Amino acid sequence: MKLRALVIDDSRVMRNMVMESLRRTQLAEFEFVEAEDGADAVTKFNPKVIDIVFADWNMPKMSGIEFVKKVRATTKSTDVPIIMVTSEKTVAKIEEALDSAGANAYITKPFTVEYVQKKVGPLIEDIEKKRGQKPGGFFSKLMD
Amino acid sequence: MTTPETLSAVCAAKGVTAPEYIEGLKAAMASTFGAISGAEPVLLGESIESTPCEGAIGIISVVGGVAWSLSLGFPRETAIALAQKFAGFEIEFESADMGDVVGELANVLAGDVVAQLDMMGVRVSMSLPTVARGSDINIMLPGALSSLRMCYSLPEGQFWLGLAVGRPTA
């Protein structure tokens, strides 16, 4: 399955690490769009084009959590899974991201490929199921 | 450099910060570098004199229930070896990516420190990291701050941790 992932981090090395880890998971055939901070990501995020988002928390201009809140405020983007990839590890921050802001998963730095696979795998399965359902539904009933 | 002592003992002797908070810092050092290097850093002792060397320093602040400035100093060879371990690919010392890695190492350590302090009921937040690279770098701290610098060893080489303590902001 082909997936277009938006990777947001002010560190180029971290973006490369996230992208390389995702490639190594072999969960999908990834194509990447990179953003340097939340503000940059807002301009590059299009829910019709982006399938999954990986966002750092602490970044200049606009933080990752502000980006998540902004994106989730738009109903069109609620289907796009967002994964926080951050060194913030307190329970309060994790709850803020997952319960309050609307992120779907939380990865703490440093991470391994196996850890990324464990966290991202179920979200990609969900995307796969939704894609599988799309050709069916209303149109498949018409064909019956 | 002094003989190896525990970080807590040095901090207690210098009255740098509360001993229980230092336990959090120790746990964060073990967790951060254990995860990256695969080995816990070994404390070699307090580094009294700043030895001139080519290297990179990552600085980050933790403020709230405590006011700490944390710095991590890596000589060139340690920085290259640790960056490869952290990123999984080779990074040249002179490249911009090396600055990213050193800043990220400070960031990850600070994230662990914040989590450790949080478990003790101390609420803090962290700043964005700052990175300096060059020869014979020396961090000049305001005289009013209590500070110390501890030297550690990893399979990737030696490095140091600096801690400067100010008045809590919360």
DSSP structure string for A26-69: TSSEEEEEEESSHHHHHHH--TTT--EEEE-SS-SSS-HHHHHH
Token duo for residue A48: 């019709």
- Which member of A12, A87, A109 has the closest CB to residue B100? A12
DSSP letter assigned to residue B137: -
Query: pLDDT at residue A137 above 80?
Result: no
> For position B99, what pLDDT does the model report?
94
Based on its alpha-carbon atoms, the radius of gyration of chain B, rounded to whole angstroms, reads 15
Contacts of B97 in chain A (CB under 8 A): 12-13
pLDDT band at A134 (very low <50, low <70, confident <90, very high): low
Distance from CA of A90 to the nearest CA of B (A): 5
Q: Which of A27-36, A71-80, A93-102, B65-74 has the lowest mean pLDDT?
A: A71-80
Q: Tell whether A36 lies on the interface with B, counting CB pairs under 8 A.
A: no
Query: pLDDT at residue A142 above 70?
Result: no
ipTM: 0.81
Query: pLDDT at residue A141 above 50?
Result: no
H helices of chain B, where?
A: 7-14, 19-37, 76-87, 96-119
> For position B144, what pLDDT does the model report?
62
Interface test with B, best of A109, A111, A112 (most B CBs within 10 A): A109
> For position A140, what pLDDT does the model report?
45
Contacts of B36 in chain A (CB under 8 A): 110
Distance from CA of A17 to the nearest CA of B (A): 6
Across the interface, whether the CB atoms of B100 and A86 are under 8 A apart is answered no
Residue A110 to residue B116: CA distance in whole angstroms:
16
Q: Tell whether A60 lies on the interface with B, counting CB pairs under 8 A.
A: yes
Q: Measured on CA atoms in the order A16, A41, A92, A79, is the torsion positive or negative?
A: negative
Q: Which of A20-24, A88-92, B5-9, B63-67 has the lowest mean pLDDT?
A: B5-9
DSSP letter assigned to residue A135: T
- Buried b / exposed e along B32-47 (16+ C-beta atoms within 10 A): bbebbbeeebebbebb
Contacts of A109 in chain B (CB under 8 A): 104, 107-108, 111
Distance from CA of B1 to the nearest CA of A (A): 31
- Record the pTM: 0.86
Q: Provide the mean pLDDT of chain B.
A: 85
pLDDT beneath 70, residues of chain B: 1-17, 48-53, 141-144, 168-170
Contacts of A88 in chain B (CB under 8 A): 111, 114
Q: What percent of chain A has pLDDT over 70?
A: 90
Based on its alpha-carbon atoms, the radius of gyration of chain A, rounded to whole angstroms, reads 15
Across the interface, whether the CB atoms of B112 and A87 are under 8 A apart is answered yes
Token duo for residue A17: 């690490």
Contacts of A60 in chain B (CB under 8 A): 128
Residue B107 to residue A56: CA distance in whole angstroms:
12
Side-chain-side CA neighbours of residue B49 (13 Å): 4
